[in-house]
Amino acid sequence: MNLCVCLVILSFNCVKSRSISEKNSIPKRTFDEKNKEHWRQQAQWTLRAKLNKPQNTKVAKNVILFLGDGMSITTLAATRVYLGRKYGYTGEEVKLSFESFPHTGLAKTYCVDSNVADSACSGTAYLTGVKANSGTVGLSGAVKRGDCEGQRDTANTVTGLVDWAQKSGKATGIVTTTRVTHATPAAAYAHSADRKWEADTDLPKHGLRCDDIASQLVRGGVGSRIDVVLGGGRKNFLPRSEKDSRGKPAGYRRDKNNLIREWLLGKETLGQTPKYVYNKKDLLNLDKKYNSVLGLFSYDHMPYHLEADEDNPSLSDMTRKAIEILSRNSNGYFLFVEGGRIDTAHHETKARKALDETAEFAKAVEAALRLVNTEDTLVVVTSDHSHTMTYSGYSERGSDILGFGTKINASDELPYTTLSYANGPGYRPHQDFRRANLMLDDVSSLNYTYPALVPIVRETHGGEDVAVFATGPWSHLFSGNYEQNYIPHAIAYAACLGTGLTVCS
């Protein structure tokens, strides 16, 4: 099977894609790009590859849905250069692992009440098949943000892929680099009128009482049946009364409930063999007897890859372990994997971190492809929304994507970065009617805040469509342009899930 791996260099002498591990054996330029035959042969190779790719119409036994939070098409293009230059190429000519998938589409991301989506309404769309209002998860558009009474009305709740997979006897799992109660993973199992109600401490102090998201993961009809949950956000599962090794509060909850202990007891009641882990070593060395695993590797979000230490598993580590555990189910599995810190880096206009997190996300997709057979496993890669980062300036090939534009001078004769944002904390006020001189900035800093046009504390999302990449059974269903809520319906069709139209019916 021809795997699409994290860094792909097109070679007309060899149809098989090459991985980063083989980089030393790949010539930096297989052909002379100044020669017209180079481009003709490249296009002919792509055409032949597409013509020779048959449509797979088998039932998908397994499904893996990868979600790059905030992974705009601009982010993908910039990450190619970032990753390519890291391994000695100019960068533009390479592909990320999933960019070689045979089928690609575009999803429209708006919410019921907003033209620019947040991670809550978009998560509800691509995980349940129903578009929702901004800030709400697992609820129909009949519920506005903060409407606790609307949340409590079961007529407004919606479930999706995780629930459908569980009802069909499949194993289910969630992997994320954010808190496991954050808006994106929460949409897989919870029903909340406010994405911020992650722990009981976050709930309104007056009025109706609603179940917080963490408690729904442990006690909910869908959440309690998820077999593998890996990510961050330990604080939302432990009470303030418990202390850690440094004598500080181990958690954030005020109801005094230890939800980790409750999760273990609940799994044992269901006849499973559960295990809670909180570091990389314990995750990678898990005994095979454990068929249900909760891994909470940080108090809050997991650290950025560029700042992580040896105790923090990577997204690839967590993805591999989740597949290993879920694959033991003879009926197959549904796994949701989120690269969540792409989004948080963009909100801070820290482009270096955003691109690196995207590269890590691509590596996780590659890790999964090495473990599965796309003859019976449908793999879909997409994003929930875009961001306002732009990629401009006519820089020369091989230029540092995180550096300055090199070809066209600005009319004020001051330098500008190739990457910038429409809004965000990177705004720099003009001095004497002139832009700030970015040459005085250390753009190589890990935490460099890239320039923004409009001052705002946190950079916003963008409203344009996001890309969808698919390979495996019925992956051709993901071609074209469609509403974001179409995605789970197409997945359900391919894997015979839910009550809608499926290949089995």
Rounded-to-integer distance, Cα 444 and Cα 306, Å = 13
3-state SS, residue 358: helix
Rounded-to-integer distance, Cα 482 and Cα 359, Å = 26
Does an H or E element contain 207, and which? none
Phi/psi class of residue 227: alpha, beta or left (left: φ > 0; alpha: ψ in -120 to 50)? alpha
The answer to whether 388 and 353 have CB atoms below 8 angstroms apart is no
Does an H or E element contain 266, and which? helix 259-269
DSSP label of 157? B
Q: How far is CA 15 from CA 9, 28, 47, 95, in A?
A: 10, 17, 12, 15
Nearest residue to 233 via CA among 209, 210, 257, 259: 259
Nearest residue to 218 via CA among 208, 209, 229: 229
Binding-site members for Mg(2+) are 69, 182, 184, 338
Binding-site members for Zn(2+) are 69, 343, 347, 384-385, 461
- Output the DSSP codes for 133-154: -TT-BSB-TTS-TT-HHHHH-G
Options 119, 122, 386, 420, the catalytic residue? 119
| Residue 119 designated active-site | yes
**Active centre residues (catalytic):** 119
